Amino acid sequence: MQVHLKVKRYDPEAGDEAPRYSHYSIDVPEYATVLDSLLQVRDYEDGTLALRYSCRSSICGSCALRINGRAYLACKTKALDMMRDGEEIVVEPMGNMPVIKDLVVDMAPFWSKVQQIGPWLQPTGPEPAREFLVSHAAMMDLAKTMNCVWCGACVSDCTVLEVDKSFIAPAALAKAYRFVGDPRDGMSKERLEELSSVAGGIWDCTRCNICVEVCPKDVRPMDRIMQLRELAVEAGITNHTGVRHGDAFARSVRHLGRLDEVRLLPESVGFWNVPRLLGELPGALRMLRAGKLPWSHALLPWRHQIPSIRQVQRLFDSVRRERKGVSR
């Protein structure tokens, strides 16, 4: 099988001022992975190509990179599956991390965010006389996050991190859940307070779901971030724009059947927060121009409910009943 590769190259130490692409056509067996193909290029076509790998068995997480614009483990991804009608497979380094050379990125920012969440158990109180046994259900819940191999795929494609470098990002936040949710940890409330109040914390995720889609180990980082939010609210940590935003959003949809964009912002940041509201005016004007905020909503104080509002409210009631049933 012939594979065509278009590989992003960049070597600042060699004086490259900007990235460029190299093109390779090679013969590989049908079962070859993208990593196999890149290694064949490096070993037989171009020894200067830099890439990172170790286990070749989707265990170590070293070989994550972008293939056709999405993050994958190269050793877990068949080249055949990535070929679109014989077109080139585009291979690039992970996003949201500085490139050291070609496909090798600097993971230092990634690890500093993991450090930030205190990734170790912090028991409090006297040392237990006997081994602390964790229930099977609790351990099964935590096991999902423990599957993480630190490949960085979720961080590479995180759309929030792309615009806000302070965001702690999916991998570290999923790891934070691993400790908050551990019954042996004594600092869960403090961790939740910190994760709620710090810049780039749990309320900054926009739920785009991309980290769930690209995670090769089904850790589902966004779901873990949502669990952290629920735990924070249950713990009474509610004095946050994110919590108020969620409440205002739900209130608006329940009452009108749609979003009241004009009330959403003041109800989220607080009517008293005049500087913040004024600061958002340019954004509101852009929304108006782009048609994302109807002029009628901006100019008229009253709102009409959608005709099928009862159906929407029945949905809300049914979710509320279900949640009460679950928590009983």
Coil, helix or strand for 66? strand
Question: Binding of ligand FES at residue 143 (CB under 6 A)?
Answer: no
If the CB atoms of residues 150 and 167 are measured against ligand FES, the closer one turns out to be 150
Q: Could you tell me which stretch among 47-55, 174-182, 191-199, 285-293 binds ligand FES (CB under 6 A)?
A: 47-55
If the CB atoms of residues 101 and 240 are measured against ligand FES, the closer one turns out to be 101
Question: Binding of ligand FES at residue 75 (CB under 6 A)?
Answer: yes
Q: Report how far residue 119's alpha carbon sits from residue 3's, in angstroms, rounded to the nearest whole number.
A: 41
Q: Report how far residue 43's alpha carbon sits from residue 38's, in angstroms, rounded to the nearest whole number.
A: 9
Question: Binding of ligand FES at residue 147 (CB under 6 A)?
Answer: no
If the CB atoms of residues 58 and 156 are measured against ligand FES, the closer one turns out to be 58
Q: How would you label 280-313 residue by residue, b for 16+ Cβ within 10 Å and e otherwise? A: eeeebeeebeeeebeeebeeeeeeeeeeebeebe
Q: Could you tell me which stretch among 8-16, 60-68, 77-85, 219-227 binds ligand FES (CB under 6 A)?
A: 60-68
Question: Binding of ligand FES at residue 61 (CB under 6 A)?
Answer: yes
Coil, helix or strand for 89? strand
Question: Binding of ligand FES at residue 62 (CB under 6 A)?
Answer: yes
If the CB atoms of residues 73 and 228 are measured against ligand FES, the closer one turns out to be 73
Instruction: Tell me which of 7, 65, 71, 73 binds ligand FES, using CB under 6 A.
Output: 73
CA dihedral sign of residues 49, 51, 56, 58: negative
Q: Could you tell me which stretch among 52-60, 181-189, 258-266, 275-283 binds ligand FES (CB under 6 A)?
A: 52-60
Q: Please, are residues 148 and 172 in contact by the beta-carbon 8 Å criterion? A: no
- Least separation, in Å, of the C-beta of 59 and ligand FES? 6
**Residue 207 token pair:** 């739920």
Question: Binding of ligand FES at residue 306 (CB under 6 A)?
Answer: no
Using alpha carbons only, what angle is made at residue 173 by residues 168 and 179, rounded to the nearest 5 degrees?
Answer: 135
Other beta carbons within 10 angstroms of residue 63's beta carbon come to 24
Sites of contact with ligand FES (CB under 6 A): 53-56, 58-63, 73, 75
